[in-house]
Amino acid sequence: MTFFTNPLNLVTLFPLVGVLVILLFKQEQKKEIRWTALIVSLITFGLSIWVLTLFDPNNPDLQLVINLSWIEIADWEISYQMGVDGLSILLVLLTTFLTPISLLSTWTAVEDRVKDFMIFFLLLEVGMLGVFLAQDLFLFYVFWEFTLVPMYFLIGIWGGPKRMYAAVKFFLYTMTGSVLMLLAILWLGIYQGTFSVPDLTAMGGIPAQVQLWLFLAFAAAFAIKVPMWPLHSWLPDAHVQAPTAGSVILAGVLLKMGTYGFLRFNIPLFPKAALQAAPWMALLAVIGILYGAAVSYYQKDVKMLVAYSSVSHLGFVMLGLFALNPQGIQGGILQMVNHGISTGALFLLVGMIYERRHTRVMDDFGGLWKVMPVYGALTLVVTLSSMGLPGLNGFAGEFPILLGAFGSEAIGSPWYAGLAALGVILAAVYLLYMFQKLFLGPLDKEENKGLKDLTVRELVTITPLVILIFWIGLYPKPFFTLMAPAVEKLLTIIETASLAMY
Amino acid sequence: MTTIDFYAILPLIILVAWASALLLLDLFFTRKIEGLTPILAALGLLITLVISALNPVAGSTAFNGMIEADGFSSYLQILFAGSGIVGIALAYGYLKRMGINRGEYYPLLLYSISGMILMAQAADLIVVFLALELLSIPLYILAGIARPNPASEEAALKYFLLGAFAGGFVVYGVALSFGATGTTSLSGIVAAVDSGLANMPLLLIGAGLILIGLGFKVALVPFHMWTPDVYHGAPTPLTAFMAVGAKAAGFAALLRIFLAALPVLAGNFVPVFWILSALTMFAGNLIAIVQDNIKRMLAYSSIAHAGYIMMAVVAFGQEFVSKDAVASSLFYLLAYAVTNFGAWSVVIALERAEGKGLQLEDYYGLGKKYPVLAAAMLVFMLSFIGVPPTIGFMGKFYLFRTVLEGGYTWLAVIGVLTSILSAYYYLRVVVNMYMREGDPEIAPDRLVQLVSIVGALAVVLLSVFATPLFRWASRAVLNIF
């Protein structure tokens, strides 16, 4: 019965236990439902820590693998295959870590249909964990598409005034990319005879011309999810309309599914195409960095600003990944985690002030530091971390990315890194501008004078994130240690392909 | 008639006899026991289903090659009989509720199903035509059974006129094929073509006319014009049944004729099928977007799904792909049947007298008031779109595999892109159910709700444990070649 004893499978499916329990409650038992969801998500986090203790960081291969035969379609044998390695372990932990935090943030924010909310949220966690752990393309696709449904509801039911539009746009946009990927997955099944990712990676042998098409089809799905410029237009709508917890998970984890997809599938499965595409991906990434930063600066709504800053920050991740060298990729992976923490925290903070004032327009604030010093201090730390201040987590990720991109053979020009560095400065501009608008200046608005500082629950929500911001910023080594062997292994694939090409 | 002949058409014999007896018996059923008719009808279908599943003379031909009793026919017969049973379950309370509880509804339904069962076995063009008429004529009557409701009468008339027209095409095509090859038997046509005696241009025209006729039945664009009006006007349980049964029967004939007898014409028909399929998927999904009536929306959706199945048929001439073409079509028909009945059962639950409760606005707030029913509808909509884990996704997965195997990459791309169009209107239902406020009413019809719930469970569970179904569909093609 490996299905029920495999640690990875346990982590992935455990939230379903919560779903089943919550189904037994009545809609009115809000307190019980909230606690059940929170406890289940905390246990899931505990299970993922258990996975971490079982994980051997020196081993570059997939670990804790579960591989069962699942569905037969004609001559295809589809496997239920999961595994974890250095590329995914951090993202799994990020998911299980952010879920209880998000749930805690909904304690007073979500009053309507709490039962449905928690069910969708836990289902979403199952989908996200499945995406990061699945090692069979079919299984991966099932989880990948499945995440759409709960997120669609989180935006569509508990979102802002334009929530239906945003929800449908989110669904359709993401699905457009996914179905093209589905065709590429089918192609691999037909001509390579398997959906198992490790087998496909080991097999190789896809002609360079075909690789490019498959690369593009997979990239369609992932680039929309990331989102890369110019496919980002669903993101501001979804983020702004989504409830706080939805935004946190959307920015923190769902977008990472896109970058993770590039890392797990595009690069190792189609290494030749990845090498060919690297300069183009870098170009799009840099445009995204600068464009996202520029647009952020002009936002009046804080949440909109944070949403566009995601476009910019994820440009860094993409730039790092397609540097295709150790610094770039390791920085990219760490930056995925960093963005999850920093932007997640920013969305939480925005949510906290929104709950108090029911507005997010920056002009409505000013001088908040005087009434909410704790809130202000925490926001400052998070803002600085998002800017990439040395000593905080953003720097630990962005620096290796720029280093990697600068010396990258695959990208072929240091200019991309140079322009991206400009993005770091722009980030400082719009983030400090935001901070100044909210917290500095005179406390001249009547409504703001009576604002209460953070409650204990809110502090509990945000503190773990701030601790991590410092931890990763001051001592990122354990994080790099976890991923280094797997990244090395990935790069040998790239090197082999590069030797074959030139 | 030999023993094999007898056993080969045993399901048909039983069903026709049962229907005829029921028609007579119904006259003597007093008001008190008139509920017996549907129960007896369902029982007859159940017996037919069991015998079809046992298929005592599997793999043999009967009546000098006019009838096949193979895995293909058995698969479809089970599908038809099963659809009939669900169709009766949906109609049972509905007809009473709408005041159109006429006893002849059920025997007529059985007659129509017996035509479908014959169609699944037909290995001769004459039998194909016979089956086509046998399945269609009762449906014409049934479409109008809600008389004096003008919409229902219009549906009946329209269906009859266009159906008769389509039947004319088929008959003309059969005649020309006979002229071209000197035979109407499918194996005879193959022999005539192989020996070089066949008049190929004539055969081509004949096959083209047959395609048009069957295209009407399965509602391929541009032969789909009747569908929305008929689906809209007919009593809803009948619509649900027609969308599955008539479509599956049409595809049964299409698959059998083109794969077994006419692969030689692949060069001519592949582009035609390609265009028909692309056009059907595109037009069906596009027009569905602007519908405000759920019956019309689902009618266009059923057109679009015919286009998806047609995608698999495009590869009919390629020896290595044709098995997958049949198996994936059969599997998709099953997936579509389950999803379709589920979706229609929710429609029936919400429908009220005089065509009320059928607008998309009538679904406002369903998620809050009737969470179970709404969740079931959600599952069906996702299955129609093809989002995992639903059986609709598994069906599309296999279909697209076939299309790519056949080398029709662009058709597959059109297929997936049109499925995004479809997501738009299926999601409209979901938006209305969950994201808007309203106070919908549902009929207290336990049977219908049972179909919804069992259907939703089946859609999800059959996708996770799909292997037996895939094996069954694969086995169903073994004897066709």
Instruction: Look at A127-136, A174-183, B98-107, B412-421 and tell me which has the smallest mean pLDDT.
Output: B98-107
Q: What is the pLDDT of residue B316?
A: 82
Given A175, A187, A190, which is nearest B423 (Cβ)?
A175
Residue B351 to residue B357: CA distance in whole angstroms: 5
Q: What are phi and psi of B317, to 5 degrees?
A: -85, -10
Q: Inspect the interface and report whether the beta carbons of A113 and B412 lie closer than 8 Å.
A: no
How far is residue A294's CA from residue A313's CA, in Å, rounded to a whole number?
Answer: 12
Burial class for B179, CB neighbours closer than 10 Å (0-12, 13-18, 19+): middle
CB-nearest to B434 from A72, A142, A153 is: A153
Across residues B319-346, what is the average pLDDT? 92
A471–chain B nearest CA distance, Å: 39
Q: Give the per-residue pLDDT at B82.
A: 95
* Helix (H) / strand (E) containing B134: helix B125-143
B chain contacts of residue A148, beta-carbon cutoff 8 Å: 387
Mean pLDDT of chain B: 90
Q: Report CA-CA distances (Å) from A251 to A254, A289, A481, B42.
A: 6, 16, 25, 54
Q: Is B397 on the interface with A (CB under 8 A)?
A: yes
Taking an 8 Å cut-off on Cβ atoms, the answer to whether B389 and A146 are in contact is: yes
Give residue A152's pLDDT. 92
> Which pLDDT value is given to residue B328?
92
- Inter-chain residue contact B417 with A176, CB threshold 8 Å: yes
Contacts of A436 (CB under 8 A, 6+ apart): none
Look at B400 and A142 and tell me if their CB atoms are within 8 Å.
Answer: no
Chain A hits for B393, Cβ within 8 Å: 142, 145
Q: Which residues pair with A134 in a beta bridge?
A: A82
For residue B78, the model assigns a pLDDT of 94
Task: Name every residue whose Cβ is closer than 8 Å to that of residue A166 and which is 6 or more positions away in sequence.
Answer: A155, A156, A159, A160, A234, A237, A238, A240, A241, A242
Q: Which of A58-62, B25-29, B427-431 has the highest mean pLDDT?
A: B427-431
Residues of chain A in contact with residue B327, where contact means CB-CB under 8 angstroms, are 74
Q: Do A183 and B404 touch (CB under 8 A)?
A: yes
Q: What is the ipTM of this complex?
A: 0.91
Q: Which of the residues in chain A have pLDDT under 70?
A: 1
**pLDDT for res A1:** 54
Residue B148 preceded by cis peptide, ω within 30? yes
Task: Note whether B404 contacts A: Cβ–Cβ < 8 A.
Answer: yes
Residues with Cβ within 8 Å of B21's Cβ and at least 6 positions away in sequence, in order, are: none
B332 touches chain A (CB under 8 A): no
Flag whether pLDDT at B419 surpasses 70.
Answer: yes
A179/B416 Cβ within 8 A: yes
Distance from CA of A113 to the nearest CA of B (A): 8
Cβ contact A71–B409 (<8 Å)? no
How many residues in chain A? 502
pLDDT for B449 equals 92
Our measurement of the distance from residue B7's CA atom to the centroid of its chain's CA atoms, rounded to an integer in Å, reads: 25
Would you call B467 and A187 a contact, using CB atoms and an 8 Å cutoff?
no
Contact yes or no for A145 and B387 at CB 8 A: yes
Task: Identify the residue among A136, A183, A209, A213 best suited for mutation to test binding to B, counting B beta carbons within 10 A and taking the highest.
Answer: A183
> Taking 80 as the threshold, does the pLDDT of residue B56 lie above it?
no
A189 CB neighbours in chain B (<8 A) are 401
* Nearest C-alpha neighbor of A71 from the set B55, B139, B397, B56: B397
Residue-wise pLDDT for B276-285, tens only, equals: 999 999 999 9
Q: Domain coordinates of chain B in residue numbers?
A: 267-481
| Residues in chain A whose Cβ is within 8 Å of chain B | 70-74, 76, 113, 116, 138, 141-142, 145-146, 148-149, 152-153, 156-157, 163-164, 167-168, 171-172, 175-176, 179-180, 182-183, 186-187, 189-190
**Under an 8 A CB cutoff, do A149 and B382 touch?**
yes
Q: Which of B285, B318, B397, B405 to mutate to test the interface with A (most CBs of A within 10 A)?
A: B397
Closest to B400 (Cβ–Cβ): which among A76, A116, A186? A186
Q: Which two structure tokens, joined as six digits, stand for A113?
A: 């249909």
Question: Which of the two residues, B213 and B56, has the higher pLDDT score?
Answer: B213
Q: Å from A349 to nearest chain B CA?
A: 27
- B419 and A CB contact within 8 Å: yes
Rounded (5°) CA angle A450-A456-A460: 130
| CB-based contact, B424 to chain A, within 8 Å | yes
For tokens 């009546």, the residue is: B63
B321: chain A residues, CB-CB within 8 Å: none
Pull the structure tokens for residue B443: 């009929």
Range B330-347 average pLDDT: 94
Cis peptide before B263 (omega within 30 of 0): no
The pLDDT value recorded for residue B478 is 60
The continuous run of DSSP H or E covering A76 comes out as: strand A76-84
Condensed to tens digits (0 to 9), the pLDDT of residues B345-393 reads 999 999 887 778 888 888 898 988 898 999 999 999 999 999 988 999 9
B480 has pLDDT over 70 = no
Number of Cβ pairs closer than 8 Å across A and B?
92
A72: nearest CA partner in chain B: B467
Tell me the three state secondary structure of residue B16: helix
Structure tokens at B413: 């791309």
Select from B389, B413, B435 the Cβ nearest to the Cβ of A183.
B413
Q: Provide the shortest C-alpha distance from residue B363 to chain A (in Å).
A: 15
Of the candidates B367, B401, B417, which has its C-beta nearest A189's C-beta? B401
Q: Which chain A residues are Cβ-neighbours of B401 within 8 angstroms?
A: 73-74, 76, 186, 189-190
What are the tokens at A31?
């307190």
Interchain CB contact of B14 with A (< 8 Å) = no
Give the nearest partner residue to B420 out of A71, A145, A179, using CB atoms: A179
Query: Taking a C-beta distance cutoff of 8 angstroms, is the pair A224, A177 a contact?
Result: yes
For chain B, positions 362-391, list CB contacts with chain A under 8 A: 367-368, 371, 382, 385, 387-389
- Whether residues A164 and B435 touch (CB distance < 8 A) is answered with yes
- For chain A, say whether B431 makes contact (Cβ under 8 Å): yes
Quick one: pLDDT at residue B479? 58
Q: Give yes or no for B400 touching A (CB within 8 A).
A: yes
**pLDDT > 70 fraction of chain B, expressed in percent and rounded:** 99
Tokens of A185: 């997955």
Q: State the DSSP code for B265.
A: G
Measured between CB atoms, which of B389, B416, B417 is closest to A142? Answer: B389
Flag whether the pTM goes above 0.95: no
**Contacts of A372-379 spanning 24+ positions with Cβ under 8 A:** A372/A451, A372/A452, A372/A453, A372/A454, A373/A453, A374/A453, A374/A454, A374/A459, A375/A349, A375/A453, A375/A454, A376/A439, A378/A349, A378/A454, A378/A462, A378/A466, A379/A349, A379/A435, A379/A438, A379/A439
